[in-house]
């Protein structure tokens, strides 16, 4: 499957999950929601590691790669999810999710500045559309 199709599958999954989480948060605090969500991550991790056994590729990873990926997991799965649940608890799914989902804007800007990725017209226009969408959803 191509990278684009994987991205479409990801978008579909990530589009359904906030609805589940908004309803699931119900009377729960955002902190409790993150803890319960993390149980699902652990279950997925155990099933994945049992089915695909990626141990050889894990042993081949460098320490800097391990630390960067672990830090990314901490930021995305705990800190970011906690902030998202606070927004989701008090806001609407139709507003919170697209704004929180504007993270590609941050990633694109960092890609251009830090990683020196090519800056093309189509990428600039795509980022401009994301910015316009976020501005439209402010209130």
Give the CA count within 13 Å in the CB-facing half-sphere of 125. Answer: 3
Instruction: Taking each helix axis as running N to C, give the angle between helix 93-100 and helix 121-136, from 0 to 180 degrees, rounded to the nearest 10.
Output: 150
pLDDT tier at 105 (50, 70, 90 boundaries)? Answer: confident
Domain regions of the chain by residue span: 3-90, 102-139
Is this prediction's pTM over 0.85?
Answer: no
96 contacts 88 by C-beta, under 8 angstroms: yes
Is residue 94's pLDDT more than 80?
Answer: yes
User: What DSSP line would sit under 82-126, residue for residue?
Assistant: HHHHHHHHHS-HHHHHHHHTTHHHHHHHHHHHTS-----HHHHHH
* pLDDT at 2 (0 to 100): 92
Is residue 97's pLDDT more than 90?
Answer: no
Q: What average pLDDT score do residues 55-78 get?
A: 92
3-state helix, strand, coil in the chain (%, to 5): 80, 0, 20
């Amino acid at each position: 499957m191509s990278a684009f199709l994987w991205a479409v599958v990801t978008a579909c999954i990530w589009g359904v999950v906030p609805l589940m989480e908004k309803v699931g948060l119900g009377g729960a605090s955002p902190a409790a929601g993150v803890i319960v969500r993390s149980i699902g991550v652990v279950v997925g991790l155990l099933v994945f590691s049992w089915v695909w056994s990626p141990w050889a590729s894990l042993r081949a990873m460098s320490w800097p790669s391990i630390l960067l990926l672990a830090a990314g997991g901490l930021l995305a799965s705990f800190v970011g999810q906690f902030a998202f649940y606070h927004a989701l608890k008090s806001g609407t799914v139709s507003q919170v999710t697209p704004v929180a989902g504007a993270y590609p804007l941050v990633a694109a800007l960092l890609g251009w500045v830090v990683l020196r990725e090519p800056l093309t017209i189509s990428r600039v226009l795509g980022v401009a559309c994301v910015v316009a969408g976020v501005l439209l959803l402010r209130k």
